[in-house]
Amino acid sequence: MFSDGNWAAIILTVKLASIVTLLLLIISTPIAWWLAHTRCRLKPFFEALVALPIVLPPSVLGFYLLLVMGPQGFVGQITQALGIGTLPFTFAGLVVASVFYSLPFVVQPIQQAFENIGDNYLEAAATLRASPSDRFFSVALPLALPGFLTGSVLGFAHTVGEFGVVLMVGGNIPGVSRVVSVQIYDYVEALEYGQAHSLAITMLVFSFLTLLLLYTVNPNRRKL
Amino acid sequence: MKQIVRFITGCLLLGVTVARADTVMVATAANFTAPMKAIAAAFEKHSGHSVMLTFGSSGKFFAQIQNGAPFDLFLSADAVKPRKLEELGWSVPGSRFTYAQGSLVLWSAQEGLVAADSPDILRSGRFRHLSLANPKLAPYGAAAVETMTRLGVYDRLSAALVQGENIAQAYQYVFSGNAELGFVALSQVMQDGTLKAGSGWVVPADLHTPIRQDAVLLKRGKDNAAAIALLDYLRSDTAAAVIRSYGYKL
């Protein structure tokens, strides 16, 4: 059903989405915890910052990432000083871009889950002399599990569905940045509509099944 | 009251003028953006018609035209798509002609990186990324691959190649410094016969098949006086001078 090129794109996409989801779970948990519990007056500021990729066109995000990670950019200067060159056109660069792009889709469900726990359980645990880390790992984390599940699924699916940002910073290199969505775009542009269909329908079915799974396993979650 | 009457009369008069002049909608290949803007402005002044320009990739326009996009004229980046549109009955037979022939340049945003008289830099390995337009989609990308093959450096460079989805993005990669150099359209880096910035080697025309860019009158514009007039104007000496000044051949 798929050519070698299409398989390479599929494998690359799954690899990218898996790594990004894993990183996002690690990064988002402290952010979500802080946002759920802080009384800092700057909270709305940080919430808006995290949510930005939801409303920003990928072209804007991709354009700025390209400049910031480029040789004259702030991040580019740092990566060059560290001796790893610049990030655009590399798999690592794609991972960094995707982490920014999918951040709100993981932070928000986890934050909501933490907020829904409320203070009662945590205070009860504290009176039973549970240490802060014990309260987090034995009480908060299990109770917030549905939020983590939602965040992982959305983060994974959103990264798989990423297109504009990859197109801007990827350079369309087979095995490095030619993900499924870019491959489909190439087919459409090259008027190879048959090839485009076979991949596009796969994406459509995958995305639907992912969301179906999410709503079946986790029917009561608050909508984004 | 007097002002209101004057305003309404003004509107009516304006309506009459607009009705008399026609509007032409033009789908223009991205690489031809700058010259087309200049040509359209001159044409509007000259004819009284108005021109609405849309810029983008020819492949996208090709798909949109077949699905009812409201364009009267199509200025493609290649010769294949206008011919196909004619075969499929979306354009007026006999209206197709070559409005410009593209030139390719190996360009860098850095001064002095690319020698003006030789492509030696391609053999030096003194760069990490070489940008080009997707050769599958863009004629300029295909010409770049052909040039590198003729020079015998394509296999060696394949690991350094990064592709923009069109020539505009290929340019953006070089302009931002993310790629040290790249094959772009001469029209993107040239103005009034000289390079605007950086350094470049203009690829000799015998190293690749000519990049013929064809225009065609679409079915939708066959009775549009403005579309027909603009198509004529594109062939005029005035337009030819503008087209040449951006580095195209005719």
Give the gap in angstroms from C-alpha B11 to the nearest C-alpha of chain A: 38
Confidence grade of residue B136 (pLDDT, cut at 50, 70, 90): confident
- Which chain B residue shows the shortest CA-CA distance from A87? B178
CATH entry, B2-101+212-245, from 3.40.190.10, 3.20.20.210, 3.40.605.10, 3.30.1390.10:
3.40.190.10
| Chain A CA closest to residue B136 | A190
**Packing angle, helices A91-117 and A4-37, rounded to 10:** 40
Q: Which domains, from first to last, does chain A contain?
A: 4-217 (1.10.3720.10)
pLDDT of residue A186: 83
Confidence band, pLDDT 50/70/90 cuts, at residue B63: confident
**How would you write A72-119 as a 3-class SS string?**
CCHHHHHHHHCCCCCCCCCHHHHHHHHHHHHHHHHHHHHHHHHHHHCC
Q: Which residue of B57, B163, B177 is in closest CB contact with A172?
A: B163
**A64 touching chain B per CB within 8 A:** no
**Strand duo B104-108 + B199-202: pairing:** antiparallel
CB < 8 Å to B178, chain A: 66, 69-71, 86, 88-89
The long-range contacts involving B153-156, CB below 8 angstroms and separated by at least 24 positions, are: B153/B122, B153/B123
Domain boundaries, chain B: 2-101+212-245, 104-202
Contact A66 B176 (CB under 8 A): yes
Name the β-bridge partners of B98: B214
Task: List the CATH code of the domain at B104-202.
Answer: 3.40.190.10
For residue B10, what pLDDT is reported? 57
pLDDT in tens, B163-208: 998 888 899 999 999 999 999 999 889 877 788 899 999 999 899 9
- Chain B: closest CA distance from residue A103 (Å): 25
All residues of chain B having their beta carbon less than 8 Å from the beta carbon of residue A188 are 59, 63
Q: Please give the pLDDT value at position B154.
A: 95
Q: What's the pTM value of the predicted model, to 2 decimals?
A: 0.77
Nearest to B162 among A67, A89, A190 (CB): A89
**Does ipTM exceed 0.95?**
no
Q: Which residue of A has its CA nearest to B66?
A: A191
Q: Which two tokens stand for residue B110?
A: 């850095």
Q: Same CATH topology for B2-101+212-245 and B104-202?
A: yes
Strands of B114-240 (E only): list them: 130-133, 161-164, 181-185, 190-191, 194-195, 199-202, 211-217
Helix (H, G, I), strand (E, B) or coil at B17: helix
Secondary element (H or E) of residue B97:
strand B97-102
Q: Extract the residue ranges of chain A whose pLDDT is less than 50.
A: 222-224
Compute the half-sphere exposure of residue B183: CA atoms within 13 Å on the CB side of its CA.
30
Test A190 with B136 for CB contact under 8 angstroms.
Answer: yes
Helix (H) or strand (E) holding B74: strand B73-75
Amino acid at B122: L
> What pLDDT sits at residue B138?
86
Nearest residue in B to A64, CA atom: B176
